Structure 1
């Protein structure tokens, strides 16, 4: 929503006709662009000639030398006042107008801002100190936002208030959310308590900080803060990682018990409940203590008998291997090799599969690629013989920021998960990625387990984010195991026990009988054949809602999905293409019938709500009751879809929950998806065919149906013999092209 005072701030920025201060869009919305422009305006007013977006040491020192310890009503600099007022409005405070004065409203807002930051005690009064000015010109919030908690905000304010006067400590957000900047502030605080000078403290978890923890901050039951605040900082680290503990500076029995829970969760064994180095490390940095033992590993090198023996001797029980090579020119041969899985199992190890063909390029991640990856990973896993239920870890091997996760990674995995479900949910979806991506995907319900790339300690997606609750493997160090022919470089992983890997395999190998994608260069010839058939047989009826050409385009637009379904269920594409082509023509009355069904379901919803709260008269039912209809691309009834899916679930063709097709709520959910989700609708077609074959007692391999069996299966799709024969004719036209492409 636009804010008129932010608009005034933007107009003030645009009043500068200085080459180093770019014009900003006047839209009433705060952004980094606006804050950067205000920073440049301040630098200009301070006489700094090289303007930049960064409020760095030069800006800070020049501000201090020009105006002293604070800016207030005695400073007397109109444009600096306007910059402050603009920043306050952008932060959501009353700037007192943008009139170039430090008036009472401006002063009150500065005092409120400092209180929200937690620095009101360190910086009393209503003057604006240089570090507060620096914080003002950022997008950092100082009130609780989003999913932020008061428990975290309390600590953020405490950190700011206690350490803001240290030279290298800058005000961190006070919004109740753990983040990269808050993590850095916590490490600075720990370094100050250890006794590091301003020239030494740097906010990084380096050797000096680690030694300081080992010598000064080993805590246990009864420890309490005095001059040093180690218990407070440990409690802060626990809270930041999502553990509910007091923030009182006392190492109580309750804290010890919660620490035991954390140690058990993070596999810091044996659990002691004390704040030892490994526990501090796991709370403060994504790798934790990289020297701690791991029982899992992942590698790009083939596991030979000698290497398997070396890994087992070093205490490893599970190894991650790649399903495929990267999809690039001259890729490194890192995929599972022929016979390797048997070698691994013979060596006493289990295996978890990783899928990565690129993963390090932001542009790789999109819905179309996610759908493509689903089929490629499915077929690779089947080829190697991984059994149903195995978790496949799909790689996101770059530091995606939140916006990229939302716009790229989530759509990629949503399409991937949807396609895996459409193909029968034979395998479960996991992810290899930094912490933030893992947690975001798990929260969205798109993954079941995380393989956390915690070695990338500098990634924004790791720093400031807790270990995901669904973690299965935690990658912490690259090491070499074994010697001679048994030597192998691995990434050492800690295992949570969520995924113990696989030890049994049923390789399927390549299946050349399966259909392949359609050659779009043959679209014209296919269209000619189909239109000729429709016209020659008098099927170009006036009441059809779509032309044959539109139906051809629809079938071919969904070719990737249809091909994947055909390959997954070992079925001819033509069985699906024939009915989708015919049914997509639709009857011009279909929309009217669908409207009646929608009205019926709306009435059921309203009546159910009235039954829960029977006030007034009950909702009047529709004049015409239609509780189901054939709908969507392939014109499927809700009951038909539920019945087919139930059959396929019972037959272990797909995973899912049995539903009652007479339960209107279940039927509505399915009918709505059939009507509005083309992929779901088309994905139901092969399930109907599978059930139809069972009803007809057909046990033939679906790739080798006889003409009679094809007619029988297609007939049941609509229930009429004429329909089956007509659909068989369409099948033959599609199959002419599909068979040629199979070779």
Structure 2
């Protein structure tokens, strides 16, 4: 928790005591926590509006507030502050910004003046607004959460650019003070466009910070090159710095020219070393010059012979198409259609696959959804005939805020990456805004990025450079061809980092009778009742119970109930479904031993686990499936050797404890239980489990889960197998109903 600032605390108390705990301001009582945040800044903004006589109070310091302040108090100082309350508001705002407010006593003292002078220096306004008075635009900037010193490893060079922009343009009508924190942002990006428009001679009210036709026309007549100095060179080098290019702010030197060449090469512009229009455009807006001809495209329309011919004639080489369409009515040609990849191949084109279900809201993204989507993408890629090594682009098709990337998008791609890496030979790419692509790639979850740059207003594009691993840069929607060859596409620039696939395996029909997620609304309650009834019939009541272990110990089961064990299995239904689909086995074959072992947990199990944690034992059966680490190592190694999963073979001598620790994770444990069913079949010399495995083999495989059958334990092992087979039948009945079989 952040430290409590005594003066911020006093500011919060001032608001509460002066404005009837927020009632006069139309807000709830302000939390008195001594920490600056938006609630405090909003309250101070409303207090200022209240003192100005504005009747419609708002959190926003908007045009009405600014105009009222400018008309009444164009310069606030010791002689113009209208009341002690007004002065207290200004002092409180200074404290919340980290400056000395001179005490919250309403006096615009020498200490306040000194702080205002320092504030304006930090903003870059020392020459635009000299002295210790507060001008209205400075007050507006004071009442927000922007920083005017470098924070979070901000760049001092970028801060200099921010200060320069403020100092040069703050007196223009629609220019407002931007942060000077050393970080590029949406406000900085707009300020750069305003600067260009002002230098082009646009009047106040016309200059709007939008990269429109007038701005583009003006930039075409203002190229910069070696030897250029003055304002245009300064704006250009500022744009280079904001794109994290290693130049000095100021003149266009040979050093700048070298950096421009590198930048042009990186974004696939003609390498001239000149700040021409296309270079300006790529520095200022995410989509750059939208008249650029790309070699790649993507779309939601089937590539027919005529459309393929039109694309090839237009210079396109790489076509992005969707593996799957979750809707049966919208965009009927969105997913790859039968025969389409053969057409693409016939015309010498290449295809890069995209996977998207919805992806337009943070709630669509989670670790579990990532695993599920990855499994579906693998299935569809194989159905269509994409070969091993193909990169599949998973879509984040909305403007994800940075906090959402942390909480939703990264966990999703961790699930995607883990599933694709372990269960296939495909690679993971990401489609989305710049910030999303870079952060996911930096986390190691994507090899290349397909960047949604034509959404130039996305906060994830504004202020962020093109991702370092970009493969495709989507810049504009356009239409090419005519007649039967006419097709609407998104035009993409290609970097060459990914060239898609030009040769495909024969497509295979999607006819496998694979498991699906349990229809919980229809079947969950009934399934629980049948599980309880069955287990009770074999001596396993809802709670408690006792019996012999294979080691010859008589134990009482009183750790968790049948319902609790069942709920844990249901919570992981997505994972059981994923594994069953990927391995093409029945879901119940994985669920059964896990549910059984969860229900049969007894007090000696956690005690054995504690001995391993203390280093007093090497191993124990642990986690959801009660699996020994040495068994997990053998099972996983076998599946790796058989090419069923990917991974580096594990060693008992060095990896046992690390594997045991990972078995505490239900995801790893349940996955291991799935691989163990395959390994157990091998151990007892029956066919690898499939969708059509006989009940006799299923019983043998389930028997083997409890260990190797010997003369001494033959009866107990066979009883275990019979009891689990009965449970298997209960689970499989409802899985079959869910898949409509």
TM-score (norm 2): 0.89
Which residue does 1:264 correspond to in 2? 265
Report the number of matched residues. 709
Matches within 5 A, 1:647-658: 647-658=638-649
Contact 1:390 1:502 in 2 (8 A): yes
Which residue does 2:507 correspond to in 1? 507
Cα deviation, residue 199, structure 1 = 4.0
Tell which deviates more after alignment, 242-251 or 276-285: 242-251
Contact 2:472 2:493 in 1 (8 A): yes
Contact 2:706 2:720 in 1 (8 A): no
Which residue does 1:31 correspond to in 2? 37
Matches within 5 A, 1:226-245: 226=230, 229-245=231-247
Matches within 5 A, 1:605-684: 625-663=616-654, 666-675=655-664, 677-684=665-672
Structure 2 vs 1, CA of residues 695 and 139 (structure 1 numbering), >3 Å: closer, same or farther?
Answer: same
Structure 2 vs 1, CA of residues 738 and 539 (structure 1 numbering), >3 Å: closer, same or farther?
Answer: same
Cα deviation, residue 458, structure 1 = 1.6
Tell which deviates more after alignment, 560-569 or 690-699: 690-699
Pair 1:687-2:675 in alignment: yes
TM-score (norm 1): 0.89
1:521-562 superposed Cα distances (whole Å, 9 cap, x missing partner) = 332113312332344997486333334443333333322211
Contact 1:531 1:548 in 2 (8 A): no
1:474-508 superposed Cα distances (whole Å, 9 cap, x missing partner) = 11111111111111111111112222112313433
1:398-457 superposed Cα distances (whole Å, 9 cap, x missing partner) = 2232233334433443444445456x1443333222222222322333333222111112
C-alpha distance in 2 between matches for 1:329 and 1:71: 66
Alignment match of 1:5 (pick from 4, 7, 11): 7
Matches within 5 A, 1:274-293: 274-293=274-293
Cα deviation, residue 246, structure 1 = 1.9
1:41-100 superposed Cα distances (whole Å, 9 cap, x missing partner) = 212222333333332333223223322334346535312211111111221222222111
Which residue does 2:129 correspond to in 1? 123
1:186-219 superposed Cα distances (whole Å, 9 cap, x missing partner) = 1222223333333432222122221222112x12
Tell which deviates more after alignment, 280-289 or 588-597: 588-597
Which residue does 1:531 correspond to in 2? 536
C-alpha distance in 2 between matches for 1:158 and 1:567: 59
Contact 1:246 1:255 in 2 (8 A): yes
SS of residue paired to 1:702: coil
C-alpha distance in 2 between matches for 1:92 and 1:122: 22
Cα deviation, residue 657, structure 1 = 2.9
Which residue does 2:335 correspond to in 1? 335
Cα deviation, residue 737, structure 1 = 4.3
Which residue does 2:460 correspond to in 1? 461
Cα deviation, residue 725, structure 1 = 2.9
Which residue does 1:224 correspond to in 2? 228
Which residue does 2:729 correspond to in 1? 735
C-alpha distance in 2 between matches for 1:24 and 1:267: 55
C-alpha distance in 2 between matches for 1:508 and 1:642: 34
C-alpha distance in 1 between matches for 2:157 and 2:686: 63
Tell which deviates more after alignment, 170-179 or 496-505: 496-505
Which residue does 2:308 correspond to in 1? 308
SS of residue paired to 2:555: coil
Structure 2 vs 1, CA of residues 140 and 388 (structure 1 numbering), >3 Å: closer, same or farther?
Answer: same
Structure 2 vs 1, CA of residues 64 and 550 (structure 1 numbering), >3 Å: closer, same or farther?
Answer: closer
Cα deviation, residue 258, structure 1 = 2.1
SS of residue paired to 2:614: helix
Pair 1:543-2:544 in alignment: no
C-alpha distance in 1 between matches for 2:293 and 2:273: 19
Contact 1:578 1:727 in 2 (8 A): no
Matches within 5 A, 1:197-596: 197-216=203-222, 218-220=223-225, 222-226=226-230, 229-252=231-254, 254-268=255-269, 270-327=270-327, 332-420=332-420, 424-503=423-502, 504-518=504-518, 519-520=523-524, 521-535=526-540, 539=547, 542-544=555-557, 545-584=559-598, 585-596=600-611
1:680-702 superposed Cα distances (whole Å, 9 cap, x missing partner) = 11011122233344455555463
Cα deviation, residue 181, structure 1 = 0.4
C-alpha distance in 2 between matches for 1:418 and 1:4: 48
Structure 2 vs 1, CA of residues 724 and 264 (structure 1 numbering), >3 Å: closer, same or farther?
Answer: farther
Cα deviation, residue 317, structure 1 = 0.9
1:372-401 superposed Cα distances (whole Å, 9 cap, x missing partner) = 433333333332232333322222222232
Contact 1:327 1:358 in 2 (8 A): no
C-alpha distance in 1 between matches for 2:717 and 2:124: 75
C-alpha distance in 1 between matches for 2:424 and 2:35: 44
Structure 2 vs 1, CA of residues 156 and 555 (structure 1 numbering), >3 Å: closer, same or farther?
Answer: same
SS of residue paired to 1:145: coil
C-alpha distance in 1 between matches for 2:290 and 2:656: 52
Contact 2:184 2:242 in 1 (8 A): yes
Contact 2:297 2:319 in 1 (8 A): yes
C-alpha distance in 2 between matches for 1:282 and 1:505: 39
C-alpha distance in 1 between matches for 2:614 and 2:274: 62
Which residue does 1:180 correspond to in 2? 186
Structure 2 vs 1, CA of residues 345 and 531 (structure 1 numbering), >3 Å: closer, same or farther?
Answer: farther
Please, what is the CA RMSD of the aligned residues?
2.7
Structure 2 vs 1, CA of residues 703 and 184 (structure 1 numbering), >3 Å: closer, same or farther?
Answer: same
